[in-house]
Amino acid sequence: MKVKMLKNDGRCRWLDKIFLQQLIPMMQEAKRTGEKKVCIIKDWISNDQGHVGIDLDWLASLNVDVVENYKEALEGNYIVVNSGYDSIANEEAVLREHGIEIIDKPCPFVRKVRTHLEAADPDYQYVLLCEPNHIIIKNFESLFPEDLIMVQMENYRERIQEHQNGKPICLLPYVTFLPKQVQEIFSFINEEYADRENMFLNTTCMWVASKVSPVVEINSLTNEELEGIHDALVIASPGSVNKSLISLSITCQDRGLNVIVVSSLEDYINYEKEHEEDTILLVKSPIPNEAETPIVEYIQSKER
């Protein structure tokens, strides 16, 4: 089986540089030496038993201190690392009130969503485009304006029509929705409520729309480069429903590719046995997982 890989793999560059190369080694060193108690709070970075957010099996393999919730961090007098999806905002405030040191390094694009909510203009009614079980829902819920409308791609028309209150509408999308999805909703808002000065806030992250974006790269592949490729194998955690994974899948499907998620080396080898003569596009999820390294090492070993 021939494997075509992307130049810009699925890994978020910010996550790789800040979280994996800086914060994790710092936390590992703190645990090894015992000089400082540094933890990460599971409640702030994962949801639905690891199906949303950080893969909990992968997190457990890192040998860093993980506490279940902010109360454990407070009781243990830990230094708390706030990274990835930002914090549960009202819990972070409690920790700060009690003098807990917080290393504040969230994804800058997720922080942008939070900043917009903290500075919400009461003259607008905010429409938050986000999945209902996403981590930022529980993280930022205390910041939501009372008249905020939460929507998804499959229900935005009905929900906006049902809950709009006459104010101009401000569309606030989560960071990994595709630009075409955001534009679809904003076009609907402007057509439906053309008499209002509606606006949308651009929160799209670099993983979705930049020169290092795998989404941009997949869209820019020529028909000749994709000739003979029917399947895109996406490496991701079992049962993952992360929005970034969904956006990757939609992008591949838009290019006419059948998306197959592989969550282990066994999954990959079983697929390979049935497609020995095929060429596939291999796509890595931006969320770290335990499957990626064994699969990539296996592919590399066969190329030697």
pLDDT score of 32 more than 70? yes
pLDDT score of 241 more than 90? no
Please tell me the predicted confidence (pLDDT) of residue 161.
98
Please tell me the predicted confidence (pLDDT) of residue 66.
96
Whether residue 196 contacts residue 169, with contact meaning beta carbons closer than 8 Å, is answered with yes
Please tell me the predicted confidence (pLDDT) of residue 243.
83
Domain 2-11+213-303 has CATH 3.40.640.10: no
Sequence-distant (≥ 6) Cβ neighbours of residue 276 within 8 angstroms: 1
The encoded tokens of residue 183 equal 């534009």
Please tell me the predicted confidence (pLDDT) of residue 252.
96
Among positive and negative, which fits the CA dihedral 124, 130, 136, 142?
positive
- Range scoring the smallest mean pLDDT among 13-27, 139-153, 190-204: 13-27
Residue 8 pLDDT grade (very low, low, confident, very high; cuts 50, 70, 90): confident
Provide the β-strand partners of residue 53.
Answer: 46
Please tell me the predicted confidence (pLDDT) of residue 13.
83
pLDDT score of 302 more than 80? yes
Residue 304 pLDDT grade (very low, low, confident, very high; cuts 50, 70, 90): low
Please tell me the predicted confidence (pLDDT) of residue 55.
83
Average pLDDT over residues 41-64: 87
User: Could you give the residue ranges of the DSSP H alpha helices within the chain?
Assistant: 13-14, 24-33, 42-45, 56-60, 70-75, 89-97, 108-118, 135-140, 156-163, 179-192, 214-220, 243-254, 265-274, 292-303
Q: Is 208 exposed, middle or buried (0-12, 13-18, 19+ CB in 10 A)?
A: buried
Name the amino acid, one letter, at 271: Y
Nearest to 203 by CA among 177, 241, 169: 177
Please tell me the predicted confidence (pLDDT) of residue 237.
83
**DSSP string of 108-157, one letter each residue:** HHHHHHHHHHHT--TTSEEEEE--TT-HHHHHHGGG--TT-EEE-TTTHH
Average pLDDT over residues 175-203: 97
Write the pLDDT tens digit of every residue in 157-177.
Answer: 999 999 999 999 999 999 999
Nearest to 12 by CA among 82, 85, 116, 87: 85
Whether residue 17 contacts residue 107, with contact meaning beta carbons closer than 8 Å, is answered with no
What does pLDDT average to over the chain? 94
User: What pTM did the predictor assign?
Assistant: 0.89
C-alpha span between 265 and 295 (Å, rounded): 5
Please tell me the predicted confidence (pLDDT) of residue 57.
86
Please tell me the predicted confidence (pLDDT) of residue 54.
86
Write the pLDDT tens digit of every residue in 84-106.
Answer: 999 999 999 999 999 999 999 99
Q: What is the CATH number of domain 111-200?
A: 3.40.1010.20
The encoded tokens of residue 157 equal 């028309």
pLDDT score of 81 more than 80? yes
- Range scoring the smallest mean pLDDT among 80-84, 245-249, 279-283: 245-249
